[in-house]
Amino acid sequence: MRHTISVLVENKFGVLARIAGLFSARGYNIASLAVSETMDPSISYMTMVVEVKDEDVLEQIKKQLNKLIDVITVTDFTKREHVDRELILAKISYASKDKDRLEGIFNKFVGKIIHHEEGTAIIEAVGDAQQIKLLLEELNKFGIKELVRTGKLAISN
């Protein structure tokens, strides 16, 4: 099962390596990871999605994260009211005749064309996991040439 965890850490070099090392040493996989500074530049915020087989492993991950000296707090969103979003950039096959079809899609999803040239358009879109999944299915009908995603961002309500 996938779980979303956020971690507040000291904004120091090596912190990301400590967290990544904690996962790799135990063979846990990180499905996505987003890192940035907070309003306080001495603190960074990480949102990570981890894939674990049971609750015990999740519990152990949280404890191990908390054990790292540079980790300030760990929040598990599994049983907590929160909103999450992901930003994607997708390069799709696109011709001018597709304009109406694409705009139809953007009536249902939060997104827009941010660049286009002959044969190609770059789409920017935001949504939760389910919305992004559905959007990608739609975009795939045009043909996705390239796709980049930020990974999930989460914040508690």
Q: Is 37 in the site for another protein (CB under 8 A)?
A: no
Question: Distance (Å, rounded) from C-alpha 7 to C-alpha 151?
Answer: 15
DSSP per-residue letters across 87-118 = EEEEEEEE-GGGHHHHHHHHHHSEEEEEEEET
Q: Which of 1, 2, 17, 140 binds another protein (CB under 8 A)?
A: 17
Task: Give the residue with the Cβ less far from another protein, 43 or 105.
Answer: 43
Q: Choose one: 70-78, 107-115, 122-130, 146-154; the region binding another protein (CB under 8 A).
A: 70-78
Q: Return the structure tokens found at 6.
A: 């956020």
Q: Is 18 in the site for another protein (CB under 8 A)?
A: yes
Q: How far is CA 92 from the centre of its chain?
A: 20
Q: Is 9 in the site for another protein (CB under 8 A)?
A: yes
Residues in the chain: 157
Q: Is 71 in the site for another protein (CB under 8 A)?
A: yes
Q: Which of 70, 76, 124, 138 binds another protein (CB under 8 A)?
A: 70
The single residue listed with the structure tokens 């152990």 is: 60
74: number of Cβ within 10 Å: 19
Binding site for another protein (CB under 8 A): 9-10, 13-14, 17-18, 21, 25, 56, 59-60, 63-64, 66-67, 69-72
